[in-house]
Copies of this chain bind each other. A is one copy, B any other.
Amino acid sequence: MTADLTSPTGATAGAAPGGWTDRPTTPEGWVERARQVATTLAADAVQRDRALAVPTAEVQLLKDSGLVTLLGPVEHGGAGQDWTTALRVIRAVSAGDGSIGQLLGYHLLWFWAVRLVGTPEQVAAVEEQATKEQWFFGGAVNPRDADLVITDEGDEIVFRGEKSFSTGGRVSDVTVLEGVLDGTDKHVFAIVPTQQPAIRFKGDWDSLGQRLTESGGVVIDGVRVPWEAAAGYVRTANGWEFQPRVYNTLNVPLIQIIFANIYLGIAEGALATAATYTREKTRPWPYTPDLKETATQEFYILETYGELRSKLWAAEALTERAATLIEAINAHADTVTPEERGEAAVLIAAAKQVAIDTGLEIGTRVYDVTGARATASSVGLDIFWRNIRTHSLHDPVAHKRAEVGRYALLGELPEPTWYT
């Protein structure tokens, strides 16, 4: 996580963005930019999903649009935006393509990870280089695989093992590794160049949804990292030690609110796609005394759109409210208390589950308002249900509910874990 990482992208600061000749200057501008990206992505999202196409061009689009450096410092060419905007951008991109929205969301989290756990020097160095060189981040950090073991070799540490899921894998420039120092319970994060012989992606991600997230397994066979690049570790009299603070544990609330925004974005995409179909193709039902001239006059169709739209707005409003807690925490990272962190985690857990319920319902019910012919594979309206259904299983929603319940009933805040 220091600046001496050889450029993994080969890019240089100020690389000409493809297609766009300027950069937005306002939060609204960046969200609008994300919508443009989404429109581009939506055009062939179903086809790419079917083909399980490696999203190389799509990651390039994210780079060209400036979204990859959305959180990067302005002085290094980044957009300098905050997480309020970042979450809206993730949501907007997900409306066009849930997979690419996820790739962007995870990237932004890992881009931010150095802020969560790094030293001030590491933060400065990583943000500068990642921004200037437009790094796209992947990550091998799935915590339920305790399979990455780290050996301490003095000045360096060496990662060896496997992770079942490594989102962003083959399309990333750098990969965030997470492992446990052998013989200890010390977790170490480090950013390493993706292209190196010691990292081998299995390319085995073939799932129901979020198919273009490059989330397959990875084999790590001797990735060497200098201790200086171990995020947050500093040399002490007792060797390299990590200095914990509450803010370290914000990664889970942050990734969870990213999830919520991915689901909301996908659900938005579903509603918008369905509405276009209903307006353009759905026929009124001829075998009823309550005959209508167009499908858009059918009471049940209007009522269903109204109900789904209302629920989705509610889920979004709660997610936006949760984002204000994240923003408030980011404003004083060094002094955030466990209570603040816990309350954000609870509200985010709540937002996530409402987003999931709403998204799954929308994913299924859009067919009721589009009709039988909308099941043609050429329409591809199932991509939304598949995408939400797949990712929403990341951790069991029942346990998330219980977590919120412990707070609502007992006032208990969740203990930070890899999922809370």
Residues of A within 8 A of B (CB): 144, 206-209, 271, 275, 278-279, 285-288, 290, 296-311, 313-315, 317-318, 320-321, 347, 349-351, 353-354, 360, 364, 367-368, 371-372, 374-378, 381-382, 385-386, 389-390, 393-410, 417-420
The 9 A-B pairs at the shortest CB distance, nearest first, are namely A306-B405, A306-B404, A306-B401, A302-B405, A300-B398, A310-B350, A317-B317, A305-B405, A309-B408
Chain A at the B interface: SS class:
helix
Q: Report the separation of the CA atoms of residues A390 and B382 in the bound assembly, to the nearest whole angstrom.
A: 10
Q: Known contacts A287-B399, A402-B299; is A372 also within 8 Å of B393 by CB?
A: yes
A-B contact pairs, 9 of them (CB 8 A): A285-B395, A285-B396, A287-B399, A290-B297, A306-B401, A306-B406, A313-B350, A368-B393, A368-B396
Are A318 and B307 CB-contacts (below 8 A) given A299-B402, A376-B207, A402-B288? Answer: no
Distance to closest chain B CB from A352 (angstroms)? 9
Given contact pairs A287-B420, A310-B350, A377-B207, A404 touches B300 in the complex (Cβ within 8 A): no
User: Once the chains bind, are B354 and A303 in contact (CB under 8 Å)?
Assistant: no
Tell me which residues across on chain B come within 8 A of A311, comparing CB atoms: 354
Number of copies: 4
A371→B390 contact, CB < 8 A: no
Flag if A402 contacts B302 (CB, 8 Å): yes
Contacts of A208 in B (CB 8 A): 375-377, 381-382
Return chain B residues, CB-CB under 8 Å to A372.
390, 393-394
Contact of A288 among B287, B301, B399 (CB under 8 A): B399
Nearest-neighbor residue (CB-CB) of A361 within chain B: B364
A300 interface neighbour in B301, B354, B396, Cβ under 8 Å: B396
Partner pick for A303 among B390, B395, B401, B418, CB 8 A cutoff: B401
Cross-chain contact B397 with A368 (CB below 8 angstroms): yes
* B302 close to A406 (CB less than 8 A): yes
Q: Report yes or no: A206 in contact with B376, Cβ–Cβ below 8 A.
A: yes
Which residues of chain B have C-beta atoms less than 8 A from A382's C-beta?
208, 386, 389
Point out the residue from B271, B314, B399 that lies within 8 Å of A318, measured CB to CB. B314
The CA of A353 and the CA of B305, in the complex, are separated in Å by: 13
Which of B297, B305, B353, B400 is close to A408, meaning CB atoms less than 8 Å apart?
A: B305
Extra contacts, 9 of them, besides A287-B419, A303-B398, A310-B353 (Cβ < 8 A), are A208-B377, A296-B409, A300-B396, A304-B401, A306-B404, A313-B318, A314-B318, A314-B350, A364-B385
Q: A287-B419, A301-B409 are in contact. Are A310 and B399 (CB under 8 A)?
A: no
Residue ID in chain B nearest A300 by CB atoms: B398
Bound CA–CA A386/B390 (angstroms): 14
Give Cα A206–Cα B375 distance, bound, in whole angstroms: 9
Q: Is A404 in contact with B305, judged by CB distance below 8 angstroms?
A: yes
Q: How far is the CA of A385 from the CA of B386 in the complex (A)?
A: 10
A406 / chain B contacts, CB cutoff of 8 Å: 302, 306
Q: Is the CB of B350 within 8 A of A309?
A: yes
Contact B393 A310 (CB under 8 A): no
Given A305-B409, A364-B364, verify A206-B314 contact (CB < 8 Å): no
Which one of B287, B314, B407 contacts A317 once the chains associate, using CB atoms below 8 Å? Answer: B314
Please report the C-alpha to C-alpha distance between residue A389 and residue B385 in the assembled complex, in whole angstroms: 11
Contacts of A398 in B (CB 8 A): 298-300, 303-304, 368
Complex CA–CA separation, A367 to B393 (angstroms): 8
Assuming the contacts A386-B382, A419-B287, asked whether A303 and B207 have C-beta atoms less than 8 A apart, the reply is no
Contact A304 to B207, CB < 8 A, known contacts A287-B417, A360-B364:
no
Among A271, A307, A320, A321, max chain B CB count under 10 A is at A307
Please report the C-alpha to C-alpha distance between residue A347 and residue B402 in the assembled complex, in whole angstroms: 28
Tell whether A390 pairs with B375 under 8 Å between CB atoms, given A314-B317, A418-B287.
Answer: yes
Chain B nearest CB from A273 CB (Å) reads 12
Query: What B residues does A419 contact at CB under 8 A?
Result: 287
